[in-house]
Amino acid sequence: MDKKTRIAIIGGGPAGLSAGMYLEQKGYENYVIFEKTDHVGGKCHSPTFHGKRHEMGAIMGVPSYYAVHDVELFAGVTHDGPKLHRTYRLPNGKVDHRFDKRLFNIPHLLKLKKQIKKFGEILETKYKGYDVCGHRGVSEGRYEGFAVTPGREPVSGENPNLKDLAMPFKQFVEKNGVPLVQEIWVQPFTSFGYGYFDEIPAAYVLKYLDFQTMMNFVNVNLWTWKDGTQSIYEALNRKLKHPALLNSNIEKIVRGDKVEITVNGKKEVFDKLIITAPLQVGEINNPVAKGLDTYLDVTPEERELFSKIDYERYDTFAWNMAPEAYPEASFYVVDNMTPETLGHGMVFYMRWAGEPEQPMISYRLRKHRDPKETVEEYKARPELGYEETKKTCIEDIKALGLAPLKDENGRDKIIYEFQTYYFPHVFSEDYANGWYEKVEAMQGKNNTYYAGEVMSFGDMDETVEYSRDLVERFF
């Protein structure tokens, strides 16, 4: 492709900014990044309170976040944040000892450890290729992409067993005789808003939590950033030759021999288009997202495929409390990570151990697809309300002994709320029927390329790595 090709990138989150970075590194400098909000970073969102930044979106990374390290090197930043600790509590506030081998059920923990080891061996042998970047070929029993290694070499191969990854994760681990691993994988998966194991295809779980990433999590071998995850992408944006254009309201995109984009009332013409914004079409019941078809001249093929995308209703809010009420560390309430406890708080997170008056953050989910439901039945059923689950979560906080301070009117004082369009994905039926292969076959048609969360997984490393993959394949 001609290096002077004019490229429009929709979205200033990790996927869009890193697409600009990787294009620059290949010699493409004639690009524009459009971001609809007044800041970059997307769900890497780190507001400031009392002079320190806290996390309302992405929290951490691990040493196997090789793509995020690309960004660090390019932007001149490093993981210099506080060391994280975790504890466990029961919903009534008492300490949960289920993972403490000194105090609880040693035979069960030994069985769990044995199944984790077996699972790692199965993934590396029976499911070779499970962890490469992206999903193309998986439903056909093959893999093609970048390996999850420091060198991230391109790999490809045939492996019919990969078709199993379309199964919900619960079914997948039961099929392989390691059901107990769900007790560990659920902690950074369901609690961080990615849904429940009886509804989400195993492919998503294992793109995010491949075995080495999961072991880093278990061993608390984590990265954080002093100024928050958003600071990574703010630094990247400053280093780009063409920083994102903020407050860009894209009104219309028409594609033909060229790509015509009307933004803030002005029409611009491009040669190529990379979309990292949500691909879902139709009405999206979310305050921060709109359907792709509200501004793009969506084709029948795009409409058919993108109408199958769903997303998680996952919300956070921050509060502070009396100094003596602060816990010693962030903690999980594992008992609330089940479909039966939908809407309850699952993680209660603080960045700066031993520092009162900092925000604590709560995390909750609001919708679940029952395995007995069809997709149509699931989509027709009302989700739990935002305010309803916020009230439930505040009740959880009080039961845990972490009651918020009161405002001047005697109401619980919430410092910050963050509602996002979270973890776009497709369900097992569509995954198995080749959804990803069909979307990948459209790459380049109408001068359009698709990147962002749904094309790999909704964590920052996978989205950045997919942007690298896209640029390497097509530019």
232, 225 in Cβ contact below 8 A?
Answer: yes
Residue 407's pLDDT is: 87
Task: Please tell me whether residue 108 adopts helix, strand or coil conformation.
Answer: helix
Fold of 311-424: Alpha-Beta Plaits (3.30.70)
Residue 148's pLDDT is: 92
Long-range CB contacts (within 8 A, 24+) of 253-260? 253/295, 253/296, 253/297, 254/297, 255/297, 255/446, 255/447, 255/448, 256/446, 258/447, 259/8, 259/447, 259/448
Delimit the domains of the chain by residue range.
7-46+224-309+426-474, 110-218, 311-424
The tens digit of pLDDT for each residue in 336-384 reads 999 999 999 999 999 987 787 889 999 999 999 999 999 999 999 999 9
Residue 346's pLDDT is: 98
Residue 103's pLDDT is: 65
pTM (2 decimals)? 0.96
* pLDDT-flagged residues of the chain (< 50): none
The architecture of the domain spanning 7-46+224-309+426-474 is: 3-Layer(bba) Sandwich (3.50)
223, 3 in Cβ contact below 8 A?
Answer: no
Task: Please tell me whether residue 416 adopts helix, strand or coil conformation.
Answer: strand
Token digits for 427?
Answer: 């369900």
Residue 104's pLDDT is: 61
Torsion of CA 330, 40, 68, 142, to 10 degrees: 100
- CATH placement of domain 110-218: 1.10.405.20
Residue 285's pLDDT is: 86
R_g of the chain computed on alpha carbons: 22
